[in-house]
Amino acid sequence: MFSFHRDLHVPVDNPDPSSTSSTTTAPHPPGFGTWECPLSPVSDFNDSEIPELPCTAYYIPNFITVAEEQQLLNRISNAPKPHWTHLSHRRLLTYPSALTPSNILLNSPLPLWLTAPYIPRMQSLNLWSRSPHGQPNHVLINEYRPGEGIMPHEDGPAYHPMVATISLGSPIVLDIYEKNEMRNPEEKRIPIWRILQEPRSLLVTTGELYTGFLHGVEGVDVDEQLRPGQGGIANWELLGDQEGFVAGRSTRGMRTSLTYRDVLRVSNLGGKVLGRR
């Protein structure tokens, strides 16, 4: 089920490609112990699995076309200004609306320009087959100018533990950090894995990676150490344009992320009361 047989940059303690049980062992760096992974939530998708990471992350370059990327960017730039939430190091759009303080989504459809054809395309890969609503119902759109980023965080229990991110504009590196790292608060966190997200790619993070780790984007003007191997880019072998990064660095432009999620608790009543149905 997992792609253990592929070339790994890190040793695998207990590879068992013939396993048919419902849990199995994921590749992981030495010293991290062994984690049990549920079977991949996605079938026909194994070639996109990022082998170094704990279960599970998938990376698909060129998930959308250049024309689709442009259409999405146009729609986003036409979003009414008051809809943007300005945060200290990025700005954010939330569709169809922000969750209530108790993490409930007031039921309302996502706009068509965000759903078709992208959600059916994800579903054709069985991406949302194990999520409660069978499809995403919430999309957060983040916009980062060069030098901007997002602090290490986890996405939390409001969602089915899976995020599917379409990237637009500029390449950017997503850093993955240990959650309960023992460190001096003054010390800079060091990511244990780095994922390079090319424009038009789809990154899916789920399972242990969703629940057991933090993720963030460093606020830098240039992403560096773009190369395979330890300290480099975990999805190097899966990149669509490896050639474009052989210099080892990438200057940030404006980068927009569309993060698709399935909110667990949905209220129909709330939507009606507010006249949103």
165 binds ligand AKG (CB under 6 A): yes
Which residue, 1 or 91, has its beta carbon nearer to ligand AKG?
91
Q: Tell which one of 106, 164, 174, 176 touches ligand AKG (CB under 6 A).
A: 174
* Closest-approach residue to Fe ion (CB): 155
Q: Which is nearer to Fe ion, 68 or 155 (CB)?
A: 155
Nearer to Fe ion, 1 or 264 (CB): 264
161 Rama sector, left if φ>0, alpha if ψ -120 to 50, beta otherwise = beta
Tell me the torsion sign for CA atoms 12, 14, 19, 25.
Answer: negative
Q: Which is nearer to ligand AKG, 217 or 234 (CB)?
A: 217
Residue 37 binds which entry of ligand AKG, Fe ion, none, CB below 5-8 Å type-dependent: none
Structure token pair of residue 153: 């965080």
Question: Residue 58: what residue type?
Answer: Y
CB of residue 89 vs ligand AKG: minimum separation in angstroms? 11
Which residue, 107 or 165, has its beta carbon nearer to ligand AKG? Answer: 165
Q: Which residue lies nearer to ligand AKG by CB, 56 or 165?
A: 165
Nearer to ligand AKG, 12 or 145 (CB): 145
- Paired with 259 in beta bridges are 140, 165
Site string for Fe ion, 111-150 (x = CB under 5 A): ----------------------------------------
The answer to whether 215 contacts ligand AKG (rule: CB under 6 A) is yes
DSSP 26: P
Backbone angles phi, psi at 3, to 5 degrees: -90, 55
Stretch that binds Fe ion, among 124-132, 153-161, 169-177, 262-270 (CB under 5 A): 153-161
Looking at 70-78, 126-134, 154-162, 225-233, which segment touches Fe ion (CB under 5 A)?
154-162
> CB-side exposure of 100: number of CA atoms within 13 Å?
13
Q: Which of 35, 121, 145, 155 binds Fe ion (CB under 5 A)?
A: 155
* Burial (CB count within 10 angstroms: exposed 0-12, middle 13-18, buried 19+), residue 205: buried
Pick from 60, 2, 33, 42: which is nearest to 178 by CA? 33
- Alpha carbon dihedral 99, 100, 104, 105, in 10-degree steps, equals -40
Q: Is 166 in the site for ligand AKG (CB under 6 A)?
A: no
Distance CA 205, CA 34 (A): 19
Give yes or no for a contact between 79 and 73, defined as CB atoms under 8 angstroms apart: no
Does 176 participate in binding ligand AKG (rule CB under 6 A)?
no
CB 110 within 8 A of CB 266: no
DSSP calls for 95-112: ES-PPPTTS-EEP-PPPH
Indicate whether 24 belongs to the interface with ligand AKG (CB under 6 A). Answer: no
Residue 4 beta carbon to ligand AKG: minimum distance, rounded to whole angstroms: 27
Q: If you search the block for the tokens 């460190």, which residue do you land on?
A: 183
Interface with ligand AKG (CB under 6 A)? 140, 142, 150, 155, 165, 174, 215, 217, 257, 259
Interacting residue ranges for Fe ion, rule: CB under 5 A:
155
